[in-house]
Amino acid sequence: MSTPGRDRETRDRLLTAAARLFSTRGFARVTVRDICEQAHANVAAVNYHFGGKTGLYEEVLRAAIETMQGTTAAVKAAGRDRGAEEQLEAYITIFLQRVPQARDSWIHQLMMRELTDPTPALDLVIEQVVHPRMSYLAGIVATLIGCEPGDSRVGPCVLSVHAQIHALLNSPMATRLFGETAAPTRAHLHRMARHITRFSLAGIRAIAAA
């Protein structure tokens, strides 16, 4: 006979097993049986708790979204009551500090899977994480240019800022080219953030002047 406590334990085990499997194999290559075997649960448990594999995947994704939303909240808090240039540097710095810590986590792996082999759940990530984050950065860029966030110059600048961040964070080749083979220190991340900020500001100012 099931009890609320045992149901919760089973549900938590299913979520843990599913997060690990979905992040390493992707949604399509994981079966309900795979998840239940790792969670030491009956194969009917996924339907009972989540209504099926898709419901379980969406629940795992929601947990990832909450963590990513925490990064966005930290960015906004760091930029509160600051000028646009300081807000830009705070945005870049926090991403550089947080992403390397998450690179080996199931959340980062799951997002890479979702981007390379998207499911319908990708819309949830875009709506709840990517769009709010990009809207905030677009507001900063628009202020620096002196235009509205919807101006055609803003979007490419936003993408350029993020391209620099991800190029340095996600590329072992980039770190080796510039002599950084070990895990980046806080001081190194600060130097990277300062460089990307200065480079981005120069580009944004040039576009504003043009």
Number of domains in the chain: 2
The pLDDT, as a whole number, for residue 137 is: 97
Task: State how far the Cα of 19 lies from the Cα of 53, in Å rounded to an integer.
Answer: 12
> Which residue range(s) make up the domain with 178?
59-209
Q: What sign does the dihedral 75-76-81-87 (CA atoms) show?
A: positive
Q: Are residues 101 and 187 in the same domain?
A: yes
pTM: 0.81
Q: Are residues 85 and 185 in the same domain?
A: yes
For all residues of the chain together, what is the average pLDDT? 88
The pLDDT, as a whole number, for residue 2 is: 52
For 176, phi and psi rounded to 5 degrees?
-70, -35
Q: Are residues 41 and 73 in the same domain?
A: no
Judge contact between 96 and 193, C-beta under 8 A: yes
The pLDDT, as a whole number, for residue 181 is: 46
Q: Are residues 92 and 39 in the same domain?
A: no
Confidence of residue 16 (pLDDT cuts 50, 70, 90): very high
Q: Are residues 120 and 185 in the same domain?
A: yes
Model confidence over 127-170: pLDDT tens digits? Answer: 999 999 999 999 999 999 999 999 999 999 999 999 998 877 65
Tell me the CATH number at 40.
1.10.10.60
Q: Are residues 10 and 72 in the same domain?
A: no
Give how far Cα 161 sits from Cα of 92, 143, 155, Å: 8, 15, 10
Q: Are residues 25 and 8 in the same domain?
A: yes
The DSSP 8-state label assigned to residue 151 in this structure reads: S
Q: Are residues 46 and 103 in the same domain?
A: no
Q: Are residues 35 and 119 in the same domain?
A: no
Q: Are residues 110 and 140 in the same domain?
A: yes
Give the angle 181-182-187 at the CA atoms, nearest 5°.
110
Tell me the CATH number at 138.
1.10.357.10
pLDDT above 90 as % of the chain = 66
Average of pLDDT values for 103-123?
83
Model confidence over 23-72: pLDDT tens digits? Answer: 999 999 999 999 999 999 999 999 999 999 999 999 999 999 998 899 99
For the cut 80, the answer to whether the pLDDT of residue 99 exceeds it is no
Q: Are residues 108 and 40 in the same domain?
A: no
Q: Are residues 163 and 191 in the same domain?
A: yes
